[in-house]
Amino acid sequence: MGELEPFYPKGEGRGRPPIGLEKMLRMYIAQQCFGFSDEAIEDASYDSQAIRRFVRMDLRRESAPDATTLLKFRRLLEKHKLTASIFETINKHWLKQDDACKRIAEIPGVGPLTATAAVAMMGDPKAFKSGREFAAFAGLVPRQVGTGGRVKLLGISKRGDTYLRTLLIHGARSVLTHAKDPGPWVTELRRRRPLNVAIVALANKMARTIWAVLAHERTYQKGFVSRPV
């Protein structure tokens, strides 16, 4: 923030005071993590408690920065060539984080926010019997009703951890809408299912993969197929 502060408006004189520098910087980082446009991150800040928590925004007292403000901030960073130094600082901090965060951040759709949240909320991965149990903890498994031996799957339970579930769903949406090569499983899923169904299914798979990487102390391998022992 020190490099950026001299160039950021001070709010002197008349007019609306500028949004705090730290808040704008956090919005920019969240935008880059999820690959959102200016309009999309503005909408997400209203829709997602996870993003508001990261940005430290309280909608009861303030509004989210609008798309025009976000565009101006991004151009300010580009004008003074500060983008690279911001992410260099983030990467240096990231390298200091524990090995678990770095390993699961290799999973497509799992950025620094999701990785640190998953590690913090999971605690000991072996406390969960399976990846499905961890996905249920995040509220990413369907509710079930049944009678007479017939089981019907409903929507996701949403009974798990809201913060982690929201991050996983945002990450899955980013993979489905922006990844150049999401892989054959995702491509086939997107072909057969509506977008929102595919997003939740991918978020579920991401949660299971996070558990597998941490519980078995492995690195992420694209295309890895688990086999019974």
Q: What is the C-alpha to C-alpha distance for residues 32 and 37, in angstroms, rounded to an integer?
A: 9
| Residues 79 and 186 both lie in one domain | no
Question: Is residue 28 included in any domain, yes or no?
Answer: yes
| Residues 206 and 144 both lie in one domain | yes
| Residues 88 and 137 both lie in one domain | no
pLDDT band (50, 70, 90) for residue 172: very high
Each residue's pLDDT tens digit, 48-98: 877 888 888 899 999 999 999 999 999 998 888 888 887 777 766 665 667
Q: Smallest Cα–Cα separation from 208: which of 156, 132, 139, 141?
A: 132
pLDDT band (50, 70, 90) for residue 144: very low
Overall average pLDDT of the 159-175 stretch = 83
Which of 71, 95, 119 marks a domain boundary?
A: 95
The mean pLDDT value of the chain amounts to: 81
Compute the 3-state secondary structure of the chain and give helix, strand, coil in percent, each to the nearest 5: 60, 5, 35
| Residues 9 and 80 both lie in one domain | yes
pLDDT of residue 66: 93
What's CA 150's distance to the chain center, in Å? Answer: 36
| Residues 112 and 90 both lie in one domain | no
Structure tokens at 147: 């009678």
Overall average pLDDT of the 163-192 stretch = 86
Among 44-48, 82-86, 189-193, 200-204, name the most confident range.
Answer: 200-204
Return all residues near 191 (Cβ < 8 A) that are at least 6 apart: none
Each residue's pLDDT tens digit, 116-127: 888 877 878 888
Which of 80, 95, 110 marks a domain boundary?
A: 95
Q: What is the C-alpha to C-alpha distance for residues 1 and 176, in angstroms, rounded to an integer?
A: 32
Question: Is residue 30 included in any domain, yes or no?
Answer: yes
pLDDT of residue 154: 46
pLDDT of residue 142: 67
pLDDT of residue 163: 77
pLDDT band (50, 70, 90) for residue 153: very low
Range of the domain at 119: 99-215
Return all residues near 70 (Cβ < 8 A) that are at least 6 apart: 24, 27, 28, 31, 38, 41, 42
The answer on pLDDT for 211 being more than 90 is: yes
Question: Is residue 196 included in any domain, yes or no?
Answer: yes
Question: Is residue 31 included in any domain, yes or no?
Answer: yes
Q: What is the C-alpha to C-alpha distance for residues 150 and 46, in angstroms, rounded to an integer?
A: 40
What's the predicted TM-score (pTM) here? 0.61
Q: What's the maximum distance between 2 C-alpha atoms anywhere in the chain?
A: 73
| Residues 22 and 58 both lie in one domain | yes
Q: What is the C-alpha to C-alpha distance for residues 48 and 18, in angstroms, rounded to an integer?
A: 23
CA distances (Å), 157 to each of 138, 153, 161, 162, in order?
A: 9, 10, 11, 11
Give 14 or 101, the one with higher predicted confidence: 101
Residue with tokens 């705090």: 20
Beta-strand ranges (E) seen in 3-123 are: none
Each residue's pLDDT tens digit, 4-37: 777 787 766 565 677 888 899 889 888 887 778 8
The answer on pLDDT for 151 being more than 50 is: no
Residue 197's H or E segment, with its range, is helix 195-215
Question: Is residue 226 included in any domain, yes or no?
Answer: no
| Residues 175 and 113 both lie in one domain | yes
Q: Smallest Cα–Cα separation from 205: which of 179, 177, 169?
A: 169
| Residues 72 and 105 both lie in one domain | no
Question: Is residue 229 included in any domain, yes or no?
Answer: no
CB 153 within 8 A of CB 200: no
| Residues 104 and 34 both lie in one domain | no
| Residues 67 and 22 both lie in one domain | yes
Which of 95, 113, 146 marks a domain boundary?
A: 95
Question: Is residue 87 included in any domain, yes or no?
Answer: yes
| Residues 107 and 211 both lie in one domain | yes
Total domains in the fold of the chain: 2
| Residues 80 and 129 both lie in one domain | no
Question: Is residue 223 included in any domain, yes or no?
Answer: no
Overall average pLDDT of the 145-163 stretch = 55
